[in-house]
Structure formats: structure tokens, C-alpha cells
Amino acid sequence: MAVILRTEGLNKDYRLGGFGRAKIITALDDVNINVESDRPVIISVVGESGSGKTTLAKTLLRLVEPSAGRAIVYDKVVAGKGAQPSKRDFMKSVQPIFQNPFEAFSRYRPVDAYLFETADRVAGLQAKEAEASVDHALVAVGLDLADVRGKYSNQFSGGELQRISIARALIPDPSLIVADEPVSMIDASRRMIIINLFKRLRDEQGRSFLYITHDLATAYYISDFVAVMNKGRVVEFGAARDVMGNPQHDYTRLLLSSIPTTRSRWRPRSRIAG
């Protein structure tokens, strides 16, 4: 079995202010999670605003250096002490999808330029292979190069643009995709397209996902594992069925009860989702 994701005593302190008045914010406080599996998985991270979800994502993406501890992705130390792979190897294996697809692509540059840039700089592909790889990635998200070539971000809907950013993430053939609130800026009617795409990419292409969200309904619907965060700590972690079907921790119960639907509406909604 592979260690798909493991964090060991992961800690991140942000220091604010100068001498004397320095204030420390502990964004990650001894985070320990462990997912071992033969098959690719979707791991959701839920928790209220400020609980440390984005900091966890950024640590795994090497955008933030942990203050202590380390993280392992597919058996490689990717963050903290002993982080092994070179930046390029690392970027091939872990790829991000961000919240706002309109921020990910400049209005002044055709979106396919980003895809070809990733094919060249991250995946290291030659022109001809790059063309095939970009098209292949776009087909995987329900588009193709002919739909996209020469167009700018304002010529796409938020949902389409998010699918293009997923295609960009696929080009280096990553094993883990870290998606921080990938559907929160997307029209509610289009969210399930993205969510189902994650499932399909897990099942058909063997990608694992770290899916960060406020939306417990979609987390429940797609996750194999769920981590519940509160104030920098993982307060509950386990198989999605256990964590959300039978929460052990008061905070998880609170989070589940704060879904803006009643318990009885929650069931039909998740059935629609399925």
C-alpha cells in the first residue's frame, strides 16, 4: 500500500508585527493525518473560515514552509525536514487548482498559452508532444484544443475556465491534485460537473485529490476520507462514511448541524447529488 498522504506533526506559525509586539498565529497545530491505500482517493478537508485549510494546501504545494513536522505524498517527503524531490519533480507529482479561475488566467493572454507553458516548463514536453498532451488533458475535462485555442478567459464561463485549469493541472501527470475551494466561485448549477469530474479522474486516471471545501454536501458525496479542521487542528479524521455518518467530535456535529438545511432535507439533497 502506498502512503498517499501523511502529515507528521505538521505545524505552521505565522508571526505578525515587529519586536515586542509580535503576535504568533498558529495556522497548523500538530496536524497528523495518514491515508494509505492501493487505490487513488479523494480526501476532503472541511472546517470553518480560518481553521487552516489553505495553509495545509499551501504547505503541500510548497508555497509555505512548515514551522515543524513534515508531509509525505505518494511515499515522498514533499514538505518539511528531508523534503526530497527537486522542485520540478515535485511539481510534476502535486498540482494545484485554485478557487478563482478568473484569477488563474490573465485577461490579456490566451488561456492555451498557460497550458503550453505548463507542458513545456513543468512537464518538459517538446512541441509536438505538448500539443497532444494539451489536447488530451482538455478532452479529459470535456473540452478540446479547438474549443480553447486563441481564446481569452473572458470568453469562457467560470465553470469552463475551472475545467481548463483542471486540464492544466493534468498535463504534468500528477498523482495528487490539491484543490482549494475549487467550486465556491462557480455557479451552483455547474458545481456538480466539476465534482463529478474529480470522481472520474480518480477512477479513470488514478489521480488522488485533496478537496478543500466549506460545502459538506459535496464533501460527503465525493470523499473517501474526510479531515475536519478547527483552529489549526485536525479534530476528526477518517473514512467519509464514519466521520460524516457518525461524527465523534462535538465540532464535527456542530459543523454538520450548521448545514443550512434540516436533517430531513439533507438526505434528499445528497440523493439528488448521487
Ligand X SMILES: Nc1ncnc2c1ncn2[C@@H]1O[C@H](COP(=O)(O)OP(=O)(O)OP(=O)(O)O)[C@@H](O)[C@H]1O
Taking CB within 5 to 8 Å according to partner kind, which of ligand X, Mg ion, none is near residue 59?
none
Of 219, 215, 241, 238, give the one whose Cα is nearest residue 227: 238
- CA separation for the pair 27, 205 (Å, rounded): 33
Closest residue to ligand X, Cβ-based?
54
Which partner from the list Mg ion, ligand X, none does 52 bind, CB cut-off 5 to 8 Å by kind? Answer: ligand X
266: which 3 cell numbers?
A: 439533507
**Residue 234 C-beta: closest distance to ligand X, Å:** 12
Residue 25 site contact among Mg ion, ligand X, none (CB < 5 to 8 Å, cut-off depends on kind): ligand X
Kindly give, in sequence order, each residue whose CB lies less than 8 Å from that of residue 165, ignoring residues fewer than 6 positions away. 97, 98, 101, 104, 105
* Binding residues for Mg ion (CB under 5 A): 53-54
Q: Cβ of residue 116: shortest distance to ligand X, in angstroms? A: 31
How many chain residues are in contact with ligand X, going by CB under 6 A? Answer: 12
Complex with Mg ion: residue 153 or 213, whichever CB lies closer: 213
**Burial track 111-126 (b if 16+ CB lie within 10 A, e otherwise):** bbebbbebbeebbebe
Provide CB contacts within 8 A for 258, sequence distance 6+.
none
Report the C-alpha gap between 196 and 218 in whole angstroms.
10
> Which one, 37 or 67, has the nearer CB to ligand X?
67
207 contributes a contact to ligand X by CB under 6 A: no
Burial class of 15 by CB neighbour count within 10 A (0 to 12, 13 to 18, 19+): exposed
Helix (H) or strand (E) holding 90: helix 87-93
In the complex, minimum distance from the CB of residue 184 to ligand X, in angstroms, rounded to a whole number: 9
Percentages of the chain per state (helix, strand, coil), in multiples of 5 = 40, 25, 30
Least gap, CB of 54 to Mg ion (angstroms) = 3
Judged by beta carbon, residue 42 or residue 178, the one nearer Mg ion is 178
Going residue by residue from 25 to 64, which x/- string records binding to ligand X, judged by CB under 6 A?
Answer: x-x-------------------x-xxxxxxx---------
Interface ranges with ligand X (CB under 6 A):
14, 16, 25, 27, 47, 49-55
